[in-house]
Amino acid sequence: MNGIFSGIPTGITAFTATNLDDLVILTLLFSQVNTHLRRRHIVIGQYLGFSTLVIASLAGFLGGLVLPSHWMGFLGFAPIAIGLNRLLNADKDSPSTTESEQELTKSSPFSGFLSSQSLSVAAITIGNGSDNISIYMPLFANADFSSLLVIIAVFLSLVGVWCYGTYKLTCQPAICNLISQYGNNIVPFVLIGLGVFIILDSASLPPIALAVSCLVLTGLVKLYGINAQTETSADADWQI
Protein backbone atom coordinates (compact mmCIF):
# COMPACT_ATOMS: atom_id res chain seq x y z
CA MET A 1 0.00 0.00 0.00
CA ASN A 2 2.85 2.38 0.77
CA GLY A 3 4.26 1.64 -2.67
CA ILE A 4 1.00 2.75 -4.27
CA PHE A 5 0.83 6.03 -2.36
CA SER A 6 4.48 6.82 -2.97
CA GLY A 7 4.35 5.77 -6.62
CA ILE A 8 1.68 8.29 -7.62
CA PRO A 9 3.50 11.52 -6.64
CA THR A 10 6.81 10.04 -7.80
CA GLY A 11 5.37 9.22 -11.21
CA ILE A 12 3.72 12.64 -11.56
CA THR A 13 6.89 14.47 -10.57
CA ALA A 14 9.19 12.41 -12.79
CA PHE A 15 6.91 12.62 -15.83
CA THR A 16 6.33 16.36 -15.50
CA ALA A 17 10.01 17.11 -15.01
CA THR A 18 11.06 15.08 -18.06
CA ASN A 19 8.24 15.92 -20.48
CA LEU A 20 7.59 19.65 -20.20
CA ASP A 21 9.20 20.17 -23.60
CA ASP A 22 6.74 17.69 -25.10
CA LEU A 23 3.97 20.22 -24.48
CA VAL A 24 5.48 22.52 -27.10
CA ILE A 25 6.10 19.70 -29.58
CA LEU A 26 2.60 18.27 -29.19
CA THR A 27 0.99 21.69 -29.54
CA LEU A 28 2.86 22.24 -32.78
CA LEU A 29 1.98 18.77 -34.04
CA PHE A 30 -1.74 19.15 -33.28
CA SER A 31 -1.69 22.50 -35.07
CA GLN A 32 -0.55 20.65 -38.22
CA VAL A 33 -3.51 18.25 -38.30
CA ASN A 34 -4.86 17.86 -41.85
CA THR A 35 -5.89 15.09 -44.26
CA HIS A 36 -2.40 13.62 -44.03
CA LEU A 37 -1.71 13.94 -40.30
CA ARG A 38 -4.64 13.01 -38.08
CA ARG A 39 -5.11 13.39 -34.35
CA ARG A 40 -4.98 9.63 -33.88
CA HIS A 41 -1.57 9.52 -35.57
CA ILE A 42 -0.21 11.94 -32.97
CA VAL A 43 -1.76 10.15 -29.99
CA ILE A 44 -0.72 6.69 -31.20
CA GLY A 45 2.77 7.91 -32.08
CA GLN A 46 3.17 9.55 -28.69
CA TYR A 47 2.13 6.37 -26.90
CA LEU A 48 4.37 4.20 -29.10
CA GLY A 49 7.37 6.44 -28.56
CA PHE A 50 6.90 6.86 -24.83
CA SER A 51 6.20 3.14 -24.32
CA THR A 52 9.46 2.41 -26.12
CA LEU A 53 11.32 4.67 -23.69
CA VAL A 54 9.71 2.93 -20.70
CA ILE A 55 10.47 -0.52 -22.09
CA ALA A 56 14.06 0.49 -22.78
CA SER A 57 14.36 1.75 -19.22
CA LEU A 58 12.95 -1.52 -17.90
CA ALA A 59 15.32 -3.52 -20.06
CA GLY A 60 18.23 -1.53 -18.69
CA PHE A 61 16.95 -2.03 -15.15
CA LEU A 62 16.52 -5.78 -15.57
CA GLY A 63 19.57 -6.70 -17.57
CA GLY A 64 21.65 -3.72 -18.63
CA LEU A 65 20.47 -4.15 -22.21
CA VAL A 66 20.08 -0.48 -23.02
CA LEU A 67 22.51 1.12 -25.44
CA PRO A 68 24.93 3.69 -23.97
CA SER A 69 23.38 7.14 -23.56
CA HIS A 70 25.64 8.70 -26.19
CA TRP A 71 24.42 6.12 -28.70
CA MET A 72 20.82 6.94 -27.83
CA GLY A 73 21.63 10.54 -28.69
CA PHE A 74 21.89 9.57 -32.36
CA LEU A 75 18.09 9.32 -32.29
CA GLY A 76 18.26 13.10 -32.52
CA PHE A 77 18.82 12.68 -36.25
CA ALA A 78 15.17 11.55 -36.54
CA PRO A 79 13.63 14.98 -35.78
CA ILE A 80 16.42 16.65 -37.80
CA ALA A 81 15.59 14.55 -40.86
CA ILE A 82 11.86 15.14 -40.45
CA GLY A 83 12.40 18.89 -40.03
CA LEU A 84 14.69 19.10 -43.06
CA ASN A 85 12.19 17.16 -45.14
CA ARG A 86 9.39 19.54 -44.18
CA LEU A 87 11.61 22.52 -44.84
CA LEU A 88 13.09 21.43 -48.17
CA ASN A 89 10.36 19.21 -49.57
CA ALA A 90 6.97 20.83 -49.14
CA ASP A 91 4.52 18.14 -48.12
CA LYS A 92 1.72 18.08 -50.63
CA ASP A 93 -0.99 15.50 -50.40
CA SER A 94 -2.03 14.16 -53.75
CA PRO A 95 -5.69 13.06 -54.13
CA SER A 96 -4.59 9.50 -54.82
CA THR A 97 -2.46 9.38 -51.69
CA THR A 98 -5.23 10.79 -49.50
CA GLU A 99 -7.78 8.42 -51.01
CA SER A 100 -5.56 5.37 -50.51
CA GLU A 101 -4.90 6.36 -46.89
CA GLN A 102 -8.62 6.73 -46.24
CA GLU A 103 -9.28 3.30 -47.76
CA LEU A 104 -6.51 1.76 -45.66
CA THR A 105 -7.95 3.34 -42.53
CA LYS A 106 -11.40 1.93 -43.27
CA SER A 107 -10.06 -1.51 -44.13
CA SER A 108 -7.90 -2.05 -41.05
CA PRO A 109 -8.47 -0.82 -37.48
CA PHE A 110 -4.72 -1.22 -36.85
CA SER A 111 -3.60 0.96 -39.76
CA GLY A 112 -2.97 3.89 -37.42
CA PHE A 113 -0.31 1.90 -35.59
CA LEU A 114 1.50 1.09 -38.83
CA SER A 115 1.19 4.45 -40.57
CA SER A 116 4.29 6.46 -41.39
CA GLN A 117 2.75 9.46 -39.61
CA SER A 118 2.46 7.58 -36.31
CA LEU A 119 5.97 6.20 -36.66
CA SER A 120 7.31 9.70 -37.39
CA VAL A 121 5.67 11.06 -34.23
CA ALA A 122 7.03 8.07 -32.30
CA ALA A 123 10.53 8.79 -33.62
CA ILE A 124 10.25 12.41 -32.49
CA THR A 125 9.04 11.28 -29.06
CA ILE A 126 11.89 8.80 -28.68
CA GLY A 127 14.47 11.28 -29.88
CA ASN A 128 13.17 14.02 -27.62
CA GLY A 129 12.96 11.69 -24.64
CA SER A 130 16.09 9.60 -25.14
CA ASP A 131 17.72 11.34 -22.19
CA ASN A 132 14.71 10.37 -20.05
CA ILE A 133 16.10 6.84 -19.85
CA SER A 134 18.94 7.99 -17.65
CA ILE A 135 16.31 9.32 -15.23
CA TYR A 136 13.82 6.46 -15.45
CA MET A 137 16.38 3.69 -14.98
CA PRO A 138 17.48 4.69 -11.45
CA LEU A 139 13.88 5.60 -10.63
CA PHE A 140 12.72 2.10 -11.56
CA ALA A 141 15.72 0.52 -9.85
CA ASN A 142 14.81 2.12 -6.51
CA ALA A 143 11.14 1.13 -6.72
CA ASP A 144 9.60 -2.12 -5.59
CA PHE A 145 7.33 -4.04 -7.96
CA SER A 146 4.07 -2.42 -6.83
CA SER A 147 5.55 1.08 -7.00
CA LEU A 148 6.96 0.31 -10.43
CA LEU A 149 3.53 -0.67 -11.74
CA VAL A 150 1.97 2.47 -10.26
CA ILE A 151 4.65 4.73 -11.74
CA ILE A 152 4.24 3.21 -15.20
CA ALA A 153 0.45 3.52 -14.94
CA VAL A 154 0.83 7.19 -13.96
CA PHE A 155 3.21 7.74 -16.87
CA LEU A 156 0.81 6.25 -19.42
CA SER A 157 -2.13 8.17 -17.97
CA LEU A 158 -0.25 11.46 -18.16
CA VAL A 159 0.62 10.83 -21.81
CA GLY A 160 -3.11 10.97 -22.50
CA VAL A 161 -3.46 14.09 -20.35
CA TRP A 162 -0.60 15.73 -22.27
CA CYS A 163 -2.20 14.89 -25.62
CA TYR A 164 -5.67 16.07 -24.56
CA GLY A 165 -4.39 19.27 -22.98
CA THR A 166 -2.29 20.30 -25.96
CA TYR A 167 -5.10 19.46 -28.38
CA LYS A 168 -7.56 21.61 -26.42
CA LEU A 169 -4.95 24.35 -26.39
CA THR A 170 -4.91 24.42 -30.18
CA CYS A 171 -8.73 24.66 -30.14
CA GLN A 172 -8.54 28.12 -28.58
CA PRO A 173 -9.22 30.60 -31.43
CA ALA A 174 -6.43 33.05 -30.62
CA ILE A 175 -3.81 30.36 -30.09
CA CYS A 176 -5.05 28.32 -33.04
CA ASN A 177 -4.90 31.30 -35.41
CA LEU A 178 -1.43 32.23 -34.22
CA ILE A 179 -0.09 28.69 -34.59
CA SER A 180 -1.90 28.14 -37.90
CA GLN A 181 -0.39 31.32 -39.30
CA TYR A 182 3.18 30.68 -38.21
CA GLY A 183 3.18 26.99 -37.30
CA ASN A 184 4.11 25.64 -40.73
CA ASN A 185 7.16 27.89 -40.83
CA ILE A 186 8.18 27.26 -37.23
CA VAL A 187 7.78 23.47 -36.96
CA PRO A 188 10.74 22.47 -39.18
CA PHE A 189 13.13 24.71 -37.24
CA VAL A 190 11.78 23.46 -33.90
CA LEU A 191 12.35 19.85 -34.97
CA ILE A 192 15.84 20.57 -36.29
CA GLY A 193 16.76 22.49 -33.15
CA LEU A 194 15.36 19.71 -31.00
CA GLY A 195 17.46 17.10 -32.78
CA VAL A 196 20.61 19.22 -32.53
CA PHE A 197 20.04 19.75 -28.81
CA ILE A 198 19.52 16.01 -28.22
CA ILE A 199 22.76 15.09 -30.00
CA LEU A 200 24.84 17.78 -28.32
CA ASP A 201 23.30 17.20 -24.90
CA SER A 202 24.10 13.49 -25.06
CA ALA A 203 27.63 14.18 -26.37
CA SER A 204 27.02 11.82 -29.27
CA LEU A 205 28.95 14.03 -31.69
CA PRO A 206 31.14 17.14 -31.36
CA PRO A 207 29.68 20.31 -32.92
CA ILE A 208 31.87 20.16 -36.04
CA ALA A 209 31.00 16.53 -36.76
CA LEU A 210 27.33 17.33 -36.15
CA ALA A 211 27.47 20.25 -38.60
CA VAL A 212 29.05 18.06 -41.29
CA SER A 213 26.49 15.31 -40.64
CA CYS A 214 23.63 17.80 -40.95
CA LEU A 215 25.02 19.06 -44.27
CA VAL A 216 25.21 15.51 -45.60
CA LEU A 217 21.71 14.78 -44.30
CA THR A 218 20.43 17.96 -45.97
CA GLY A 219 21.79 16.76 -49.30
CA LEU A 220 20.24 13.32 -48.85
CA VAL A 221 16.85 14.78 -47.92
CA LYS A 222 16.92 17.13 -50.89
CA LEU A 223 17.91 14.26 -53.20
CA TYR A 224 15.05 12.20 -51.78
CA GLY A 225 12.63 15.03 -52.55
CA ILE A 226 13.89 15.35 -56.12
CA ASN A 227 13.58 11.60 -56.71
CA ALA A 228 10.08 11.54 -55.21
CA GLN A 229 9.00 14.47 -57.39
CA THR A 230 10.48 12.80 -60.48
CA GLU A 231 8.65 9.55 -59.76
CA THR A 232 5.39 11.42 -59.19
CA SER A 233 5.77 13.30 -62.47
CA ALA A 234 6.61 10.08 -64.31
CA ASP A 235 3.53 8.34 -62.89
CA ALA A 236 1.35 11.29 -63.91
CA ASP A 237 2.74 11.27 -67.47
CA TRP A 238 2.24 7.50 -67.68
CA GLN A 239 -1.41 7.82 -66.63
CA ILE A 240 -1.98 10.52 -69.23
pLDDT tens string 31-41: 877 777 888 88
Q: Residue 164's pLDDT is what? A: 92
Q: Residue 212's pLDDT is what? A: 93
195-228 burial code (b ≥16 CB/10 A, e <16): bbbbbeebebbeeeebeebbeebbeebeeebeee
DSSP structural state of residue 76: G
Q: Amino acid identity of 5?
A: F
Please say whether the beta carbons of 188 and 86 come within 8 A: yes
Mean pLDDT of the chain: 76
What pLDDT band is residue 77 in, cutting at 50, 70 and 90? confident
What pLDDT band is residue 96 in, cutting at 50, 70 and 90? very low
Q: Over 60: is that where the pLDDT of 52 sits?
A: yes
What are the residues whose beta carbons fall under 8 Å from the beta carbon of 149, sequence distance 6 or more?
A: 7
